[in-house]
Amino acid sequence: MEELSAADPDAVIATRALTKRYRGGQLAVDGLDLTVPAGSVFGFLGPNGSGKTTTIRMLMGLIEPTSGTTRVLGRPMPRSIRTVLPHVGALIEGPALYGFLSGRDNLLRYDSADPTADPRTRRTRVGAALDRVGLTADAGKKAKAYSLGMKQRLGLAAALLQPRRLLVLDEPTNGLDPQGMREIRALVRELASDGTTVFLSSHLLDEVEQVCTHAAVMARGRLITQGPVGELAAGARGRLVVTTPDTADAARVLKEQGVGDVVVTEGEGPGGGAVGGAPEGSRVTAEPPPPDRDLAELNAALVTAGVRVRGFGLERASLEDAFVALTGEGFDVAG
């Protein structure tokens, strides 16, 4: 493969004002400025329909942007597509498979279509890719008999037939059971530890929070924020959590104190000892009070009202908290 020299060694992907407007007038991607650091596992996060797949298709040169610029591995796209794509593995909108061929034969055909692939090592590399995604035992089955999750794995294997500097995955755990999701996440971490930059789109907050080092949040075609995952979560304030068997009274007092978004979560087990008491594991969560409000005052108000407070404090903000704070809308948390 031809060696690439990135103009910015710290940016494997960089877009400036990237925009895609379709013929009907729909603005799918609006002025996107995205920077993906080398060596990162970058989560491209947003609800279905937020513009993630359209962005990926522009990054890979599959569709032309309406305006703006894209650089992948330091080269302008789509102009440098022939130079860039041999260094990129991609799984976009599910793999295109020949149903009448086995999983192994699909990979052999993929590899034979790659002019940069060495035919002398083809079968060895195909076997290694199948093993890496856990499909060795099913390699002889016809692809039409594969489940959706197995097809996802086979598509990922195709992206791994050769060493890649960048791996682009569009919803890679779609259709997988929980065990399969864990295995793919572990594989992504392994690839990143080997030096591959992984760009992973997802609508699952848990997926991004567990596996990604950096993330960008999209909503309605626009970039809301981007940066290290820890910093994105740190930008949001966590929930106020009160653990108590007296959930109804606690909720009432918090509301009287002007605290918003009060939610009662009942625990499990016997009641708290009072008539009508909630289980001991019960808790009440709420929006954190303003920074100028002393948490000790809220705690004192609860105790004065006779609420048995077993725990009281602010819970660390999650990526979900950050997303809701940024966009004002809910989100899928897990698959």
In CATH, the number for domain 11-229 is: 3.40.50.300
CB distance 303 to 254 below 8 Å? no
Question: For 203-332, where are the E strands, in sequence order?
Answer: 214-219, 222-228, 240-243, 263-265, 283-286, 311-314
What's the pLDDT at 47?
78
Q: What is the torsional sign of CA 109, 111, 115, 120? A: negative
Taking the C-alpha atoms of residue 219 and residue 138, their distance in angstroms, rounded to an integer, is 39
CATH architecture of 240-315: 2-Layer Sandwich (3.30)
Sheet holding 240-243, edge to edge: 263-265, 283-286, 240-243, 311-314
Please tell me if the domain spanning 11-229 has the same topology as the one spanning 240-315: no
What's the pLDDT at 9?
57
DSSP characters for 244-269?
-S-HHHHHHHHHHTT--S-EEE--SS
pLDDT along the chain (335 residues), means of 10: 49 94 88 93 85 91 92 91 90 83 94 89 94 91 90 89 90 80 85 89 81 89 86 69 90 88 71 46 80 81 90 72 60 46
What's the pLDDT at 240?
83
65: which DSSP letter?
Answer: -
Structure-token pair, residue 278: 């909630």
Element (H, E) at 325: helix 319-327
What's the pLDDT at 324?
62
CA distances for 245 relative to 51, 147, 277, 317, angstroms: 45, 46, 6, 24
Element (H, E) at 36: strand 27-37
What's the pLDDT at 116?
85
Model-level pTM greater than 0.85?
Answer: no
CA distances for 275 relative to 78, 194, 245, 250, 268, angstroms: 70, 59, 11, 16, 16
What residues have CB less than 8 Å from 97, skipping those under 6 apart? 106, 143, 146, 151, 154, 155
CA dihedral 234, 239, 243, 246 (to 10 degrees): 170
Taking the C-alpha atoms of residue 90 and residue 95, their distance in angstroms, rounded to an integer, is 9
Q: Where are the domains of the chain?
A: 11-229, 240-315
Beta bridge mates, 216: 44, 226
Structure-token pair, residue 89: 């593995």
What's the pLDDT at 268?
55
